[in-house]
Structure formats: C-alpha cells, structure tokens
Structure 1
Amino acid sequence: MSEPEREHDADTESEAGDTTDRNPVLLVRGDREFLVQPGEEMGTDLGVLEVPDDVEPGQTLETHLEEEFHVRRLRGPDLFHHFERTGAPMVPRDVGLVIGETGISRGDHVLDAGTGTGVLAASMGRAGAEVVTYERDADFADVARENMELGGVADDVDVRTGDVVDELENLESSSFDVLTLDTGDAADVVAHAPDLLVDGGFVAVYSPFIESTREVVETAHEADLANVRTRETIQREMQFDDRGSRPSTAPVGHTGYLTIARNE
C-alpha cells in the first residue's frame, strides 16, 4: 500500500472514531480474564460492561449489575492464553528462548514461517521487530491476522498466506536479522539462510521431532552456519506442601527441540 493510501485510510478511520489502533486490555475478576478492545461492550453472566474508549490499566470498571472488574495491561505471556487458536501455539518459555537466544529487539527484521496462532510472531513484534510471517493454511492465516490486531501489532507483523519455500527467490538477499522456523520443511529454508541473513544473523528452528531436528542440524552444517546447537526444551513444575518440596509427579514438561545457528 502506498503512503498516500495509508494516510487516506488513517484519516477515514479517525473520522469514523475507530479504536482498533488502541491497545487491548485485560479485564480481570478473580481467576477470570477477558481480553477486550477500548470502546467495546462486554456481556457476561455478571452483567454488561461498557469499556470506555480511554480505558487505562489500573482502573476498576463495573457492570450494570455493579460487579467489578480490574483493568490490567496486556503482557506478552497473555497472548498464549487469549489468542484464538488454530493449533498448539508455542508456549511462553519457548518464545522466551527464541527471543533470548537470538537477541531479537527493536529495529530487527525477522522472517518467520509456520505462523499458526501467531504467538511467536506477535511476541517478536511486541519486542520491537518488524516481522514477515508465512502460513500455508489460508484459514489459519486469517485467524493470525485477527490475533495481530488483538495483540496490538498488526502494523509490525505482516502475515502472508503461502509456503515460504516457494517465496525464497522473491525475498531480498541479506535483508533479515533473524529467521524463525516452525515448519516441517524448515531444513529447506535453512539451506538458504546465508543468502537471507545479514552477517551475524541468527536462525532459530523449533521442532517437536528428533528426525526433522537432525535434518535441520545437518543442513545448517552443510550451509556453513556457525555455532549450531540444539537443546531440548523442558521444564518441571515444583510442588510445595506440608510433606516437603519436590518436582511435580505430573508428566515431564517436554515441548520440543530448539536449534540455533548463526550466519558468519
């Protein structure tokens, strides 16, 4: 879209009193949470609540039945719980590992593939990066775009429908600081990482399976990427009671394998 078109659209939205450019907030009451946009009407079993256009975190709002909700600012981990899901989204600890291991920050350009629900893409956008993300399923991509609006990063995350492998020739060389991949054909993209990444740029590949992870690692070495390493992402919840303290006896919290490599 050209700049004049953007300006026209912005003027039109402003004249119409559009509130979609304002950040959503959480309405909290006990263990119940609702993600809402400023200016939205929310109906619950506790009554109807009119959310003001100028709502601010820290306020307390009342429904028409005088039931109170506390207003809380949306934080990154909240995306995992409140985005509409089209599959199993990347959990917050894995999102943190990707961002922490690659140093994604303001001004970075990120190429992402396997958008899914969009938790990772939105989190990177909220960290200040400009993200181009590819999702092969058109319905999933539509949901992801709605989630970007909900997460307040629609201007920072460009959700594209299609397979990134088919678009590699159309992407500008050395134009990305980080590649983040959560797809079965990730190895095919890793093979092109030296052409896509700036010097010192990172690749982060997430996979639930050992076989695809091994293929990614082998491809990274063949592409002469540096510092190739893979870690299993796993956590154990702790239990504290009168008998003592120990890790939970629930199943171990394995989610997948994260491979990191760097373009020399």
Structure 2
Amino acid sequence: MTVLLVHGDREYLREPGEELQTDLGVLEVPEDVEPGTTLETHLGEPFEVRALRGPDLFNHFERTGAPMMPRDVGLIAGHTGVAGGDRVLDAGTGTGVLSAYLGRMGAAVTTFERDPEFAEVARSNMELAEVADRVDVRVGDVTGQVDDLGRFDVVTLDTEDAPEVVARAPDLLVRGGFVAVYSPFVEATREVVESAREAGLAGIETLETIQREMDFDERGSRPSTAGVGHTGYLTFARRP
C-alpha cells in the first residue's frame, strides 16, 4: 500500500518499510503505517500520512502526455452514471487517469493504448492506484477489435478515430448504455456528433468543459484572471 507523506506543500510517495530522505531529515516509514497518523523525521519535522485518493493519483501518476482533468472525469461519471459492476470500454488510455478513477468506482475497465511504452506506464499507474485487478490495459487500436469485445455499459473515447468507434456504438453498448467522447477540437467534436446521429443514438449532447477559480483578497472577490480554464469538449450519447 503506497502512502502519501505530506509536509506543507511537499508530498512524497513511499511504501511501508521505505525511507524518506529530505532536507527536513530522514524518516522511516513503519511496516504497519496507517493513514491519518503523523510521522517525524530525525530532526523532528512532522509528516502527515494520507491514503491515496483520486486527486493524489492525478498529481503523482507518471505521465505520458496531458492527462484528463478531474473535472472532465467528474462530468463523465455524472452523465453516464458509471458504477460498481459496470463494464467499461475505454480507448486512448494515455496516462490512465480516467481508467484509474473508473476502476476505483468499482467498474471493470478494458482500455486500449496504441503506444506500447505508454501502455506499460499506464499499467504501473494502475498498480499505484490499486486497480490493476479491475483495469485491463491492452495495446492496440480498438477499431479493429469491436467484433470481439462484447457489450459494455459505458464506452469512453479520447482518440482521433472516435467517430469510427461511435458509428459502432450500437454493437458495443447494452441497451441504455452510454458513450462519452472527449476532444480538444470543435471540428472533431462535430464529426462525433454527426456519427452519433447516423448511428441512431439518443440524447446526444456536447458540453464545453470550462472552469474558473475564484480569487479572494482584501480588495474583493472575483474570478481568477489566470487562464480561461478550458480543457475541451465532451459529447454524450445513449443507445436507445
């Protein structure tokens, strides 16, 4: 069980029995360490022990590209209702943030990544998230394997060929099942919507994912002027 050691804005991942060496001193992590306890270095500096949760995984996963943001994961979970016991097909694993979140919700996830090196990193990340038994990371292109996969409760896509997979959604989804597609570009999103319409899917909707932080200081309160908070577009549709 990997734990998070926190001191102020510093965070370190360690396994029970391992040692942490920093300028704050040396800390031995006990074999029976429990989240919620406080450990001290030999210099007396305290570190809080925390169990890993979703946002911690987002921050500490080894990355192979830009990972899906937690707010996008939240929209996918909220709009598809993915839950424990569901079968999920995911294409475009990347770092594996979405797959890890879904696995921690109790879903059985089959995820496809084209790049073998990226897939290996994702497998390591699933071990860190403790969902390797629920998330099957496969190497390859999902479009050539649609006929052999069976049906799923939810299909999530973050790939350039998403319109092709959406066209096969009726063959991949159980009745009432959802497809969710992420794209950073409007043009690709339009293609997904058109493909969903042609496939006879229902409840088609597209959302721009945008979020602004708030600034609070002595002058007053207002949305932050740092960045626009845009990540991309999410399209949802459902098999009737």
Q: Distance in 2 between matches of 1:220 and 1:38?
A: 48
Alignment of 1:51-62 (within 5 A): 51-62=29-40
Structure 2 CA distance, aligned partners of 1:92 and 1:102?
15
- Point out the more displaced range, 47-56 or 183-192: 47-56
Q: Secondary structure at the match of 2:177?
A: strand
For the residues of structure 2 that align with 1:255 and 1:80, how far apart are their CA atoms?
15
Structure 2 counterpart of 1:121, from 80, 99, 122: 99
- Would you say 1:251 and 2:227 are equivalent positions? yes
Alpha-carbon distance between aligned partners in 1 of 2:96 and 2:141, rounded to the nearest angstrom: 15
Give yes or no for the alignment of 1:222 onto 2:202.
no
- Gaps spanning 5+ residues in structure 2: where? none
Name the structure 1 match of 2:66.
88
- How far 1:211 sits from its partner (Å)? 0.8
Which letter does structure 2 place at the counterpart of 1:261?
Answer: A
RMSD (Å), alpha carbons = 1.2
TM-score normalised to the size of structure 1? 0.88
Structure 1 distance, partners of 2:216, 2:44, is 38
Which of residues 141, 157, 166 in structure 2 aligns to 1:190? 166
Matched ranges for 1:152-167 at <5 A:
152-167=130-145
Distance 1:48 1:148 in 2: 29
Q: By how many angstroms is 1:53 displaced?
A: 2.5
- The question of 1:72 aligning with 2:68 is answered no
2:17 pairs with one of 31, 39, 51: 39
Offset of 1:263 from its aligned partner? 0.7
Alignment deviations for residues 77-115 of structure 1 (CA, whole Å, 9 cap, x no partner): 111111011100011111111111111111011000110
SS of the residue corresponding to residue 95 of structure 1 reads helix
Given the alignment of the two structures, is residue 238 of structure 1 paired with residue 214 of structure 2, yes or no? yes
Alpha-carbon separation, structure 2, partners of 1:181 and 1:147:
19
Partner residue, 1:139: 117
Supply the AA of the counterpart residue of 1:127: M
Per the TM alignment, residue 42 of structure 1 is displaced from its structure 2 partner at its CA by 2.8
| Shift, 1:159, TM fit | 0.6
Give the C-alpha shift of residue 63 in structure 1: 2.7
Q: How many residues align?
A: 240
In percent, how many aligned pairs have the same letter? 72
CA distance in 1, matches of 2:231, 2:22: 34
The TM-score normalised by the length of structure 2 is 0.96
User: Does residue 126 of structure 2 align to residue 148 of structure 1?
Assistant: yes
| Structure 1 unaligned blocks of 5 or more | 1-21
1:75 Cα deviation after fit: 1.2
Which deviates more from structure 2 when the two are superposed, residues 75-84 or residues 30-39?
30-39
Tell me the equivalent position of 1:179. 155
AA at the equivalent of 2:160: G
The answer on 1:210 being equivalent to 2:208 is no
Q: CA deviation at 1:52?
A: 2.2
Q: Is 118-127 or 48-57 further displaced after alignment?
A: 48-57
Q: Deviations over 1:1-36 (max 9, x none)?
A: xxxxxxxxxxxxxxxxxxxxx3x2211000111122
Q: Which runs of 4+ in 1 moved over 3 A?
A: none
1:175-228 Cα shifts (integer Å, max 9, x gaps): 210001001111111111111111100000000001110010000010001000
User: Does residue 97 in structure 1 map to residue 75 in structure 2?
Assistant: yes
Distance 1:192 1:43 in 2: 52
Q: Secondary structure at the match of 1:155?
A: coil
